[in-house]
Chain A
Amino acid sequence: MRPHSFTHDFPFCETFESMERSPAGEFLRNSRVLFPIVESIHLIGLALFVGTLLLIDLGLLGCAMRRQPVHEVAAALAPWTWSGFALLLLTGPFMFTAQAAKWHDNPIFWIKMPLLAVATVFQLSVRRRIAAEQPAKLIGAISLVLWIATGLLSKMMEFV
């Protein structure tokens, strides 16, 4: 018997189901307080990540932090950007596990996750190198669009 009836034929049906049924998934789903707490930590990580990232991207675009070179701002904020990212990576999979089958059935989930991967790779490769050198508007704009889209899709997932 499946806990969730699938309407979309995405890959990994069985894997996602077994994740949801795992002890960690059961525990998180059945606790009234744990899920909201984990989600709050996820949001605080997101605030830290997005807030610092946004200022650097806006700096690259020449819209904010104009009084300092972008690479200085980026270097000063980097530890906090990555702490925020660490909080997101620690809490995200837990939230996912609790409702894996539901997310499996959610088309927006399948748009968000590849986008997250693209944004992360972009962040670690192209953007990191540029931020250390010259302000580059295109890089800042791409980074902004990628992360804003990832964030908005995450919230939209709840409503689909």
Chain B
Amino acid sequence: MELLGVCQWIYQTPMSIAIRESIWVYPILDVLHCAGILLVAGTIVIVDLRLLGCGMRRSPVSSVIGQVLPWTLSGFVFMFITGSLLAWSEPVRLYHSLFFPWKLLFLAMAGSNALLFHYGIYRGVAAWDLDSLTPARARLAGAVSIVCWICVIAAGRAVGYEMT
């Protein structure tokens, strides 16, 4: 089945109709989705700034990441669930959207960047845990992460303004 066909099938499922046509469910999901993305982006930026040497320089890198990550991950789960439900309620509009694929792309880039960092240079963190200037690869990961999350937020906001 084509992707558009899948979107059209989702569109007519009872759950999609229920979310779309409710007075309160859609706004509440939207509010929670926003709160989730703020939690993710706001906490991950603290890690990114530490990696870039722009904040919390006196704290060990592993200590900052260890303390912040649980909040980032719970924010991500929250954002992912509410986001999926929102997307479920208007799949055909998102299929035709110009910015939604970009949002997904930047989200995937932010995710792979984080995984690459975590299972790459971060494994040897013990060697540079206390350095205020982290290795170039760690700084790169921090910069890529900030840019990706700014793009996710901007593209996500743009999706809301697209009218079909």
Contacts and interface: CB of A to CB of B under 8 A. Distances in A.
A109 interface: no
A43 to B, nearest CB: 5
A54 B31 contact: no
Given A43-B153, A73-B56, A76-B57, A55 B37 contact: no
Contacts, number: 99
Given A64-B67, A68-B63, A152-B31, A51 B46 contact: yes
A65 B67 contact: yes
B27 A156 contact: yes
A55 B43 contact: yes
Contact of B63 (A54, A67, A151, A159): A67
A36 interface: yes
A76 B55 contact: yes
B41 A51 contact: yes
B45 A66 contact: no
Interface residues of A, number: 36
- Per DSSP, chain B at the interface is helix
Contacts of B66: 67
Contacts of A67: 63, 66-67
Interface in A117-143: none
Contacts of A32: 161
Contact of B43 (A43, A54, A79): A54
A85 to B, nearest CB: 13
B143 to A, nearest CB: 15
B38 interface: yes
Contacts of A155: 30-31, 34
A97 interface: no
B157 interface: yes
B56 A54 contact: no
Interface string B25-37: 0010011001101
Given A72-B58, A76-B55, A80-B49, A47 B38 contact: yes
Instruction: Give the interface size class of chain B.
Output: 20 to 34
Contact of A79 (B42, B45, B55, B160): B55
Nearest to B44: A51
In the complex, which of the residues B66, B149, B161 has the most CB atoms of chain A within 10 Å of its own CB atom? B161
B67 A66 contact: yes
Nearest to B56: A76
A54 B30 contact: no
Contacts of A36: 154, 157-158, 160-161
A145 interface: no
B12 interface: no
23 contacts: A36-B154, A40-B153, A43-B153, A44-B150, A47-B153, A48-B45, A49-B42, A51-B38, A51-B39, A51-B41, A51-B42, A51-B44, A55-B43, A55-B46, A55-B71, A67-B63, A68-B67, A73-B56, A76-B57, A80-B46, A152-B31, A156-B31, A159-B27
